[in-house]
Amino acid sequence: MPDVGEGLTEAEILKWYVQPGDTVTDGQVVCEVETAKAAVELPIPYDGVVHELRFPEGTTVDVGEVIISVNVAPGAAAEQPQTAQPAAEEPAAKDAAGTGEPAQPTGRQPVLVGYGVAETSTKRRPRKGATAPAEQVAAGAAAQAAVQGELNGHTPAAPVAPAPAAPASRPLAKPPVRKLAKDLGVDLATVTPTGPDGIITREDVHAAVSLAAASVAAPAAVPVPQPAPRPEPQPEAAVAGGTRETRIPIKGVRKATAQAMIGSAFTAPHVTEFITVDVTRTMKLVEELKSDKDMAGLRVNPLLLVAKALLVAIKRNPEINASWDEAAQEIVLKHYVNLGIAAATPRGLIVPNIKDAHDKTLPELAASLGELVSTAREGKTTPAAMQGGTVTITNVGVFGVDTGTPILNPGESAILAVGAIKLQPWVHKGKVKPRQVTTLALSFDHRLVDGELGSKVLADIAAILEQPKRLITWA
C-alpha cells in the first residue's frame, strides 16, 4: 500500500480492476482505495503480468504492505501464479524461490504512489494470523483466491456448473455509486442502468436492492406443503424478512470526521455568536453579477459574496486567522487564507479549501468555488485539497434551516455558518417591509480569539452583506 501522503497510515481496498494473469502496463490503474479523506485510484509502476492480489476487496491495509505482485520477467504470461501469502515479510526469499518478483533494493524504492516507506520507519505490529501453520496459510490462501475471483467477476478454475460469460467491460458508475453498491452488497454487473450513456445511478442501486428483497421474500410467503402459494401469508413473510436495524461499519470519511469532531469539540473551547442581517441588497447584487460579462460562465450565488465578505473581515481583523500550537505553546498567525467550504457528499462530510483565497478576485473566487463543489460531488476531492485550511464556511441554509452552532475544523480558529435566506418583515427606513433576511453564526476557538475579536469579525461580515458596497470601500 503506497504512502498517499498527508500522514495517512492505512487505506481500504474498494475495488480491484485486474486479476492474476492480466497484463498491465506502466501507469495503468489497478485498484481503487479509500483513505480517511478521499477515494484514490492507484496506478501500477511496472509493465508485466499480475502475479498475485494479496488482499481482497474491503480489506483495510497498512501503508507499506504489499497489495499486489507483478511478474516482469520475460515469458511471464506463461507462468502459473504462486500461492498467495498473507503478508509480504520475505520478498527476497520469494524471488529466490522463482516467483519472478524483483528483489527488494536496500533503499527507498518507487511504489504505486511516491517512494514507499523509508528504512527508518517504525516497524508495524504483525497482523493477526500471520504466524499460522503452513497448512492453514495455504488453505486460507486458496479460499481467498477463490473468493477474490468471484468478487472480481472471474470464473473459477473448475466450476461445478457452467458459469455465465464475463462482461465485456466494467459497469459504468461514479465512485460514490460504486461505494453505495458495495455497502449494500449489490453487484453492479446485475444492475440495469438508467442514467445517460448507460451510467448506473444511485436510484438504480436502490432499485436493485428492492428487487432482491422482493425476490427473497416471495419464496418465504409460499407454504411448503401446499401445491400453490396463498396470498394471505405474504404480510407475515414481509415482516419476518424485514430488517429493523442496519449496522454500517464506521470507516473512511465517516470515521475520520468522527475523530476530528471529537478532537475539536473536546480540545478547543468553542464560543458561538449569532447575528441576523438584512441581505436584500446583497441578493440584488447577486442578480446583477449574473448578467455581468466578467462573470460570464461562472456560478454566482449568495455563498460567493458571503465568502468575499468573510475574506474582507479577516483582512480587517487578521488575528482571527490563526491556529493554536499546543506543543510549542504558541499562537500561529496565518498571513494567508485557505478558505474551507464544508461539503456534504455521498461519502460523508468533507471540507476542501481554496488555497490563497485572499489573493483572488471575485471572478477567480467564483471559478474556484465552482470547481471545488463539482469535484466534491463527483467524489474526486484529493487529500491535499482538504489540508491546510485556516477558516471555514458551512452553508446550512441550503437545507432550509436558520443557522447552527458549527464545530471547528481541527487546526482552525473560526467557522462561519450561513442560514437560509427568507423573506421576513423588517424595519427598513422607519417602515415595516418584507426584506430578505438571514442569520449568521460564528464559532471560534476561545483560547486564541477573545469575544471582542470574534464579535468584530461577525459584525463586519454582517455589515458587508447589508451594504455590499463595503466590499469596495473596506477592501
Give burial (CB, 10 Å; 0-12/13-18/19+) of 113: middle
* Nearest to 21, CA basis, from 117, 116, 157: 157
4 confidence band (pLDDT: 50, 70, 90): low
The pLDDT of residue 288: 95
Q: Is a pLDDT exceeding 60 seen at residue 439?
A: yes
Residues 116 and 110: their CA atoms lie apart, in Å, by: 6
Q: How many helices (H) and strands (E) does the chain have?
A: 11, 18
Give the C-alpha distances (Å, rounded to integers) separating 51 from 68, 77, 155, 289, 437: 8, 9, 17, 58, 63
The pLDDT of residue 417: 96
Q: What is the pLDDT of residues 285-326, one digit of tens each?
A: 999 999 999 999 999 999 999 999 999 999 999 999 999 898
The pLDDT of residue 453: 96
The pLDDT of residue 81: 43
Greater confidence (266 vs 231) lies with 266
Q: Is a pLDDT exceeding 50 seen at residue 47?
A: yes
Element (H, E) at 341: strand 339-341
* Nearest to 31, CA basis, from 41, 21, 22: 41
Task: Name the one residue in this structure whose C-alpha cell is 465552482.
Answer: 370
Give burial (CB, 10 Å; 0-12/13-18/19+) of 295: middle
81: CB partners within 8 A, 6+ apart = 20, 21, 51, 52
Q: What is the pLDDT of residues 352-387, one digit of tens each?
A: 999 999 999 999 999 999 999 889 888 888 888 888
How many residues are there in the chain?
A: 475
Model pTM score: 0.55
The pLDDT of residue 227: 46
The pLDDT of residue 169: 61
Q: Is a pLDDT exceeding 80 seen at residue 402?
A: yes
Task: Name the one residue in this structure whose C-alpha cell is 422607519.
Answer: 430
Cell reading at 322: 490563526
Greater confidence (195 vs 80) lies with 195
Residues 120 and 108: their CA atoms lie apart, in Å, by: 10
The pLDDT of residue 207: 78
How high is the mean pLDDT of the chain?
77
Catalytic residue among 154, 206, 270, 446: 446
Q: Is the dihedral of CA 465, 396, 422, 297 positive or negative?
A: positive
CA 144 to chain centre: 28
- For residue 118, the 8-state DSSP code is -
Task: Name the one residue in this structure whose C-alpha cell is 518507487.
Answer: 110
Which residue(s) pair with 277 in the sheet?
438
Whether residue 446 lies in the annotated active site: yes
Q: What is the pLDDT of residues 66-94, one digit of tens each?
A: 899 888 865 544 444 433 333 333 444 44
- Alpha helix stretches (DSSP H) within 221-321: 234-241, 252-265, 280-290, 302-316
The pLDDT of residue 409: 87
The pLDDT of residue 238: 44
**Percent residues over pLDDT 70 in the chain:** 71
Three-state DSSP class for residue 10: strand
Q: What is the pLDDT of residues 218-254, one digit of tens each?
A: 444 444 444 444 444 444 444 445 678 888 888 777 7
- At residue 39, φ and ψ (nearest 5 deg) are -95, 130
Q: Is a pLDDT exceeding 50 seen at residue 329?
A: yes
